[in-house]
Amino acid sequence: MRKFTQARFPVRLQIVIVGLLLLVAVIVWRIVYLHVLDQDFLQSRGDKLSVRHVPIAAHRGLIADRNGEPLAVSTPVVAIWVNPRELISQRERWPELARVLDLDLAEMSERLERLSRRGFLYLKRSLTPEEGARVLALRIPGVYEQAEYRRFYPAGEVTSHVVGMTNIDDRGTEGVEKTFDHWLAGVPGQQRVLKNPRGQLIKDFGEAKSAKPGKSLRLSLDLRLQYLAHRELMHALTETGAQAGTVVLMDVKSGEILAMVNLPTYNPNNRRTLDPATMRNRAVVDIFEPGSTVKPFSIAAALGTGRWKPTDTVDTYPGSLRIGRYTIKDVSRAGVLDLTGILMKSSNVGVTKIAFDIGHEPIHRVMQQVGFGQSTGLGFLGEQAGILPNHRRWGQAETATLAYGYGLSVTAVQLVHAYATLANEGRRVPLSLVRLDEPQASEQVIDPQIARTMTNILRDVVGGQGGIVRARVPGYHVGGKSGTARKAATGSKGYQAKAYRGFFAGIAPIDNPRLAMVVMIDEPDVAKGYYGGLVAAPVFSKVMAGALRLMNIAPDNLPPPAPATPAARTAVTPPATGGRG
């Protein structure tokens, strides 16, 4: 057995030696191959360990109003980042760094200790270039800066619900910034640099890829009208003690939104005090029962059936109507009213009797044609389509409530769009928040003659004897309808006690309608009054008056010129001639 082992040992040794020689040969061949035949491989591996591509920030596109006034601009800022692996050895300088950055030393130290194995960590962002320079002047190893951009909003809280804002990474999170983020966002570039294993910059090779700035966007808003609407709405909320309010103004011909204001609001330039409750764009997110503001569409539906004419009358006495276990009531006992009188007195009984005569189908069809229950297409985050009921069985109660504005829900934008359709001779034009250079295609949804009849009726509702005096605009014929609705209870059926919304929706000037507006005052102080004609109509009057003047729209209701009176003759005494004759 011993001889057999000794005999086999030299053979095993030879096999091991041959194997080692083959391994050495493979290694030598690989070295020669990589250094002579395939040098690019080692070069690329070396670059991955030392050559870096540092992102170059690209600023977002400018957002401006229709006249070019800036609403959102990008300003250069600095982000301070650190390499924790490198900074961990500089503990004695951490207090100095925390003091300059205005950071809590304990929190900063905890983060650095916890993430000490990372190679990248933001310490603070959105610093001014001057603040960034003070940090770098400390010359603390492992502390670096990175150029970025931050959004600034010159109009602040006045346009915040429309324009929106961006997050710390400069991506849109609200409003137009979110809706058009793909258009506004730029494409970051790349800068090729050489760094050592500790992350320190050795050489800058320049731009490898240029940054592309975002595209600019011009909105349909007129900043002058936006400021005007904001001021008047704020004054109204102060006077009425209301909790919130909305104003939407649009061009009836083009479909462009000229002003959209919500209160309460927020300042996008101050992120520390942001309250989510104030960031909601109520004009497109909040839905409500519009009350009497939809009665003109019920009247338009009646005219469309051919069964009713503007001069036809309805006996509304005694101002109440019993339907099953429900009683419909009017504020006043007006007696016999024609169609104009029904709208002027806002008679629920009158509209209900008309609805019973024509049925629910014509009313439902008209409301659907003007856009109720459908998205406006503006593309806002959280936009609501509202509710236009379509009951399987329409009883008298469902028909009546639809006719006078309960049982359906709309947004302020939908309501102003519906009135604009009436003002535009029954043509429905798509809404737009972007300035348009070419007219949009429209759709005829209401007979032009009926639409003109309705605008004349709305003119009398405001300007006629007993009309809505507070909505009138000096020098112009305007038309519109007020409305008041109880607020639905949240979390239970029924309505809140002593909680109302007051509305006014109108158009101007009647002879050639150009503008449509909706004002909504949410939960005014009941003790100060809550009817739409009292709390919302004055806002309509003031904002519409200013808008008509700013847009140089000719008055259509000027008083006739006074007859000229003959000028009194003035005796002229000839100059005295001196000297003798």
DSSP string, 325-369: TEEEE-SS---EEEHHHHHHTT-HHHHHHHHHHH-HHHHHHHHHH
User: How is residue 541 written in tokens?
Assistant: 């009057």
Q: What is the rounded distance in angstroms from the CA atom of residue 99 to the CA atom of residue 334?
A: 75
Q: What is the pLDDT of residue 41?
A: 57
Q: What is the pLDDT of residue 238?
A: 97
Q: What is the pLDDT of residue 54?
A: 60
Bridge partner list, 166:
172
Phi, psi of 494 (to 5 degrees): 90, -160
Q: What is the pLDDT of residues 46-56, one digit of tens each?
A: 555 566 666 66
Q: What is the rounded distance in angstroms from the CA atom of residue 555 to the CA atom of residue 534?
A: 25
Assess whether pLDDT exceeds 60 at residue 579: no
Could you tell me the maximum CA-CA distance found in the chain, to the nearest angstrom? 179
DSSP state for residue 82 in the 8-state scheme: E
Q: What is the rounded distance in angstroms from the CA atom of residue 530 to the CA atom of residue 548?
A: 27
Q: What is the rounded distance in angstroms from the CA atom of residue 490 to the CA atom of residue 533?
A: 26
Q: What is the pLDDT of residue 115?
A: 87
Residue 390: partners with Cβ closer than 8 Å, 6 or more residues away = 364
Domain at 223-267+281-550: CATH architecture = 3-Layer(aba) Sandwich (3.40)
Q: What angle do CA 156, 58, 182 make, to 5 degrees?
A: 70
Q: What is the rounded distance in angstroms from the CA atom of residue 94 to the CA atom of residue 135?
A: 12
- 227 to 158, 247, 317, 548: CA distances (angstroms): 7, 11, 45, 15
Domain positions in the chain:
53-186+201-218, 223-267+281-550
Q: What is the rounded distance in angstroms from the CA atom of residue 141 to the CA atom of residue 82?
A: 9
Q: What is the pLDDT of residues 329-370, one digit of tens each?
A: 998 888 999 999 999 999 999 999 999 999 999 999 999 999
CATH of 53-186+201-218 among 3.40.120.10, 3.90.1310.10, 3.30.420.40, 3.30.300.30:
3.90.1310.10
Q: Are 181 and 26 in contact (CB under 8 A)?
A: no
Q: Which of 60, 109, 72 is nearest to 212 (CA)?
A: 60
Q: Is the pTM of this model over 0.75?
A: yes
Do the domains spanning 53-186+201-218 and 223-267+281-550 agree at the CATH topology level?
no
Burial of 308 (0-12, 13-18, 19+ CB in 10 A): middle
577 pLDDT tier (thresholds 50, 70, 90): very low
Q: Which residues are catalytic?
A: 292
User: How is residue 65 written in tokens?
Assistant: 């109003």
Q: Of residues 132 and 230, which shows the higher confidence score? A: 230
Assess whether pLDDT exceeds 90 at residue 121: no
Of 205-214, 271-280, 414-423, 429-438, least confident by mean pLDDT is 205-214
Residue 200: partners with Cβ closer than 8 Å, 6 or more residues away = 86, 141
Q: What angle do CA 461, 463, 465 make, to 5 degrees?
A: 85
Q: Of residues 315 and 199, which shows the higher confidence score? A: 315
Q: Of residues 489 and 376, which shows the higher confidence score? A: 376
Q: What is the pLDDT of residues 511-523, one digit of tens each?
A: 999 999 999 999 9
Q: What is the mean pLDDT of the chain?
A: 88
Q: What is the pLDDT of residues 178-188, one digit of tens each?
A: 999 999 997 77
Q: Which of 388, 190, 376 is nearest to 297 (CA)?
A: 388
